[in-house]
Structure 1
C-alpha cells in the first residue's frame, strides 16, 4: 500500500488583535490552490484541522475557537493606490467549509506587518524609523483599510507598551482606519438594509424584539440585552455553556440574515456562519472581566456582547467593533441609545475581556447617514514562521 507524502507550504502564524491565524502569500500556495475553489478550501481546512467532530482541531493549526480558526491570503496589489490585497477565510471547526463572506478586523492588524516583512510593500515606502502607512484592499468586502505600522531600524516593530484587553502581553500599537466601512448600496441606504435605524423584529417561536440591522465593518444584528433576558455583563461560559441559548441566538441570527437580504431562506444560514454577527447591548454596568479585572460603569459608555461562529466571543471581533462605532455615531440606533444617545464620534465599550475604544464620524448626505471612516487600535505579532505541512492528497 502506498501513501501520499506530505507537502510543505510557506506560512506564518500570526496574532492580530485578539485573533490568531495562518498567513500565506498567494504565490507560495500550490498552483491549484492559488485560485478560489474546492482545492483551496480543502487545503485550508486541512491546514487548520477541520472538520473535527471532536471540536479540538488537534491535527491542525486551529485553536478550537472562532478566534483561532482563521486563514489569510495576501498578494501584492495591482489596484491603484494600494499595497496589498487581503483575503480572509473563516474556517469552520466542525464542518467542511470555509466562509469567505466577510472580513476579520482583528487579523487586519497583522496584514500590514506581514506585507512589509514579506516584500509586498515597496521598499521606498518603508521609513527607517517611524510609521509605515500600508494601503490594504480587503477583497472579501471590496473596501480600503489603512494600517499604520511602527518601524524601528527598518524593521516592523512588534514589541511595545500598548495593552489590548483580551491579549495577555503588551505590544506595539497599530492604528487601523476602515474607510467607508458601510455597505455601498445603490440606493444609498444599504448601511441600514431595512431602511430603519430600529426595527420591530419578529422571530417565530422565539419572540419580538427591537433590533438595529447595520452593514458596517460586517453585517451585524444588535439587540437590547434586557429584551432577550441578559444584563450585558455576561462572560463566555454564561452563554456558551447553555446550548438552548446558543440555539436561540442562531435562530435569531438566521431570521435576521433573511431580513437583511443576505440569504433568502433561514436554511441557508448554516452555510453562512461568519455573517451576519449578532450582538446585544446594554447601558453601562460594573462587572468583573474574564481576567479578573474590574470594569466599572464609569469606565465605559455601554456594554456589548457579540457572538461569532455560534459562540460568544471572548473579547470583540474587530469588524463588529467597527459596526459598534458606526452605530454609536448615529443618533437613534440601539447602540447609540445604550451609550446615552446624542451625537458621538467615539465610544468605549465593555466586552467580556475588558474595554475597547472605537471612533467613527457620521454625517447625513441627501437624507442618508454616511460614515467615512472608523478607527481603532490593535497590535500584532509573528508567533512562528516557516512551513505548514499537509498530505498531498488532501486537496
Structure 2
C-alpha cells in the first residue's frame, strides 16, 4: 500500500494575549483550502491534531485547551480602508469541527505584528522607530479592529516590560481598539437581542436565572455568581473538575443561545461551541490568583469568570473582555451592578490568573444602547516560524 507524503505549508506559531495559534497567509495555503469548506476545515484540524479522543493533541500543534486550539488566516484586505482580513478558526479538541462563528480577541493582538512581519503592510508606513497603526477587518463577524504595534529598528518590537496576567513573561504592549463591537448581524439585530438589560433565563431542569444577554465583542451570557452557588473567585479546578457543573453551564449556554436568537433549537449548540460564551460575575473581594498572587478587593471593580469551549478559561478571552467592558459601561446590567453600578468608561476585573483593565464608550441613542469602541492592551510574540507538515491526503 502506498501512502501520501507529507506536505509543507509556511506558517507561524504565535502567542497573542493569553492564547496561541498557528497563523497562515491565505496565499500560502494549498489551493483547495483557500476557500471555506470541508478541505479547509480538515486541513486545520490536521494541523492542530484534532479530533483527538485522548484530549492531548500529541500529533499536532494544538495545546488541548480552548486557548491553544486555534488557527488564523491572514490576507490583504478586501475591504476599503483596511490593511488585512483576519479569519479565525476555533478548532474543537475531541470532535471533527472548526467553529467560525466568532473572533478571538487575544489572537487579535498578533494580527498586526504578523501582517507587518509578512510584508502585508506598505514598507513606507513602517517607521524606523515608533508605532504602526494596522486596520484589521475581522472577517468572522464583519468588524474593524485597530492595532497599534510598536516598531524598533524597522521591525516589530516584541520584547518589553508590559505584564499581562495569564502570560508568564513580559513583552511589548499592543493597544487594541475594537470599533463598533456590538454584533448587530445576529440575534435581535441589537446589542441586547431581547431588548432588555436583564432577563429571566428559564433553563428547564436547572432553574431560572437573572441574565444579561449581550452581543458585544462576542455574544455573551452573563449570570450572577451567587445565583449559581459560586463566590466569583473560583479557579479552574473548582469548575473544570466537576462534570455536573460543566454540564449545567453547557445547558445554560444552549438555552441562552436560543433566547439570543443565535440558534433555533437547543441541540444546535453542539455545533456552535465558540459562541455564545457564558460568564458569571460577582462584586470585588480579596482572592488568590492561580499564580499564587494575592489580589485585593480594592484593586479591582468586580470578578468575572468565563467558560470557553466548555471549560473555565484560565484567564479571560479578549472578546469576552470587550463584552465585559461594554456591559459594565451600561447602568443596570448584571456586570455594571456587580461593579457597583453607575456610569463608567473602564473597569478592572479579577479573573483566575489576575486582573485586566478594559475600557468602553457606550451611549444611548434613540432608546438603543450603542458602543463606539472598546479598548484594551495585550502583547504578542512569535514562538516559531517556518512550515507545518501534514499528510498530503488528510484534507
Structure 2 length-normalised TM? 0.99
Q: For 1:288 and 1:229, how far apart are their aligned partners in 2?
A: 19
Paired residue secondary structure (1:68):
coil
Question: CA contact under 8 A between 1:12 and 1:384: conserved in structure 2?
Answer: yes
Q: For 1:7 and 1:108, how far apart are their aligned partners in 2?
A: 28
Question: CA contact under 8 A between 1:232 and 1:305: conserved in structure 2?
Answer: yes
Paired residue secondary structure (1:340):
coil
Query: Corresponding residue for 1:130?
Result: 130
Q: For 2:52 and 2:185, how far apart are their aligned partners in 1?
A: 38
Query: Corresponding residue for 2:340?
Result: 340
Q: For 1:212 and 1:15, how far apart are their aligned partners in 2?
A: 31
What are the within-5 Å matches in structure 2 for residues 52-131 of structure 1?
52-131=52-131
In structure 1, runs of 5+ residues without a counterpart are none
Q: For 1:209 and 1:336, how far apart are their aligned partners in 2?
A: 17
Query: Corresponding residue for 1:246?
Result: 246
Q: For 1:158 and 1:342, how far apart are their aligned partners in 2?
A: 38
Q: For 1:366 and 1:37, how far apart are their aligned partners in 2?
A: 41
Q: Does 1:204 align with 2:208?
A: no
What are the within-5 Å matches in structure 2 for residues 315-330 of structure 1?
315-330=315-330
> Which string of whole-angstrom CA distances, capped at 9 and with x for unpartnered residues, describes residues 335-394 of structure 1?
000000000000000000000000001111111111000000000000000000000000
In the superposition, relative to structure 1, how do residues 163 and 187 fare at CA in structure 2: closer, same or farther (>3 Å)?
closer
Q: For 1:287 and 1:188, how far apart are their aligned partners in 2?
A: 37
RMSD between aligned residues: 1.0
How far apart are 1:185 and its partner, in Å? 5.5
Question: CA contact under 8 A between 2:171 and 2:379: conserved in structure 1?
Answer: yes
What are the within-5 Å matches in structure 2 for residues 235-274 of structure 1?
235-274=235-274
Q: For 2:186 and 2:116, how far apart are their aligned partners in 1?
A: 35
Q: For 1:140 and 1:186, how far apart are their aligned partners in 2?
A: 12
Q: For 1:124 and 1:184, how far apart are their aligned partners in 2?
A: 36
Q: Does 1:376 align with 2:387?
A: no
Question: CA contact under 8 A between 1:188 and 1:368: conserved in structure 2?
Answer: no
Question: CA contact under 8 A between 1:287 and 1:294: conserved in structure 2?
Answer: yes
In structure 2, runs of 5+ residues without a counterpart are none
> Which string of whole-angstrom CA distances, capped at 9 and with x for unpartnered residues, describes residues 143-189 of structure 1?
00000000001000000000000000000000000000002359996
Question: CA contact under 8 A between 2:51 and 2:95: conserved in structure 1?
Answer: yes
Q: Does 1:38 align with 2:34?
A: no
Q: For 1:147 and 1:175, how far apart are their aligned partners in 2?
A: 6
Query: Corresponding residue for 1:178?
Result: 178
> Which string of whole-angstrom CA distances, capped at 9 and with x for unpartnered residues, describes residues 60-117 of structure 1?
0000100000000000113111000000000000000100000000000000000000
Question: CA contact under 8 A between 2:187 and 2:262: conserved in structure 1?
Answer: no
Q: For 2:243 and 2:326, how far apart are their aligned partners in 1?
A: 31
Structure 1 window deviating more from structure 2 (380-389 vs 181-190): it is 181-190
Q: For 1:126 and 1:317, how far apart are their aligned partners in 2?
A: 29
Question: CA contact under 8 A between 1:189 and 1:195: conserved in structure 2?
Answer: no
